Structure 1
Amino acid sequence: MNNRQKELGEFYKELRLARGVKQKDVARGNLTASQLSKFEQGQCMLSADRLLQAVEGINMTFAEFGHALNGYKDRPFMIFGHRLSQAFFEKDLLALEALLAELDNDNIHQRLLQVMVKNAIFSLDPSRKIFEEDIELLTTYLYDVEQWTAFELYLFTNTVSVLDVSDIIFLGRALIKRSILYHSLHNNKRMYKFALLNIVSTLLERKELSLIEYFMSELRKVLDYEDVFISVMSEFLEQFYKYSVLGTIDLEDLKAYLDALVILKNPELLGILHLKLEQLLTIYDKTTD
């Protein structure tokens, strides 16, 4: 029994005791109290199904157990993503360059994170084009992975804007099927919603309108009372679509909608919405005959 396995048993025991659960209350089915005791003492390793049963026996999900085992920290790519988001919103190109330098060219997942960073840099400095080989790496990876977990969801959400429309549509449809098995995980479902939101936003910006309503419909299916930001942003994009494409409302109606959102008392959200409106009006005015 190696040290890592011994530490896992000891860690599990600490959690069980902290949660006030006795061994006899965990043991059931094909997991005996004797097996559990040996596991906690570092004398044996539990099989995957027995370990899952042991975790459920102390009323934790396996995701929670893994989070605790990781020192109650986010996964490394999520921590990296938080740093990336902060640097981007602060428009700190030097910080983005520093993040890029941290990543290993020999690791496929870190090379994919590089594409995310390069996309953020390009958004702030359009002279910094993203190489075709980076986009090919990204699309090949996303096409090949049949089940999208948190990493793929996060990657796709933050790189939609660099993809060709045909890839956005194909991968957007694939997103719905490939991530569904993990929707019971709150964070995964949340990222799924943001992915759909970014698809709608990007297609609207490019005036690729044929499937806008399809992706809007998919997003509405998964929104709930907790999704204030996504709900408001989604409704705003739909209102802009009605104004710019369907012509069923005018610009004053759209501005009145934004004015009504003052009741939310969220100036940051209102600032984002007004900025987005300016961007979309500029895009559509430039191509108006």
Structure 2
Amino acid sequence: MTHRSYGPATATRSSGDGPPPWTVVVMTRDRLPGLEGSLPHHEGPVVVVDNGSRDGTVEALAGREGVRVLALGENRGATARTVGARAAGTELVAFADDDSWWAPGALARAAEHFAAHPRLGLLAARVLVGPEERPDPVNAVMAASPLGRTRAGDVLPGPAVLGFLACGAVVRREAFLSVGGFDPVVFFRGEEERVALDLAAAGWACAYVDDVVAHHHPSSSRAPRPAALAEEARNDVLTAVMRRPWRVVVRRAVRAWRAGGPRRRGVAATLPRLPAALRARRRLPADVERQAALLDP
């Protein structure tokens, strides 16, 4: 399906004399007030990918300097970010949601890390939540990754990881698109794991780097917790179907089923998407599977 494009994405702020080597890709749907608040924080060109908003988002942003709007006309979930990455003309793509933004200077620092590490495919930033700037719990998990800091003879700028928060990730566009970006099987929530696994399988490193900071002020219009738990359980199983051994698939499904409530509903919700997950199934290289197994709960 085609999408409508409004306006050029030209740099609004950058460091140095030339345009920045990154584009900020923002995914949004029906959250215009939050988007209006977060957009001024972005440094460099911005591509907003609209997932079929009905609150006037597309019209409100039309003609805004430094912002290009891609109107998809429907909700495509996380694959909207892939559309934005394809449209970006820069080496790097920094993802953001309508309720998140990058700290001043963060993307310039990220660009330095990518320049110093040619096989770095994805940088997972330190994410601070809310006005209190509370560290997201995922920060500590990634900082404690047992995967070490060396890949292909290169000492990474932080611990190697096989997961990340999309609103706090910068990718090398070439690497991200080479593994297909985000896919429609999981649609949204937990979509990061498969991308990280495929990057590692393709020889790209993913690293957590705590001197690159993203801010996240979660919107009050986010999905209720039970719905989010169901989606997480569903996508956890579907990702395992696509890339992990069957014993991992069974373990994840059984764990969610035993948890009951929304997680059990999430396991049941895998069934309509199971044929697509099976068509996409591809086992990981043995070394990447070993790394993934180290991170399994």
Say which structure is richer in strand.
Answer: 2
Say which structure is richer in helix.
Answer: 1
Please tell me whether Structure 1 or Structure 2 has the larger radius of gyration of its CA atoms. 1
The alignment's TM-score, normalised by the length of structure 1, stands at: 0.34
The alignment's TM-score, normalised by the length of structure 2, stands at: 0.33
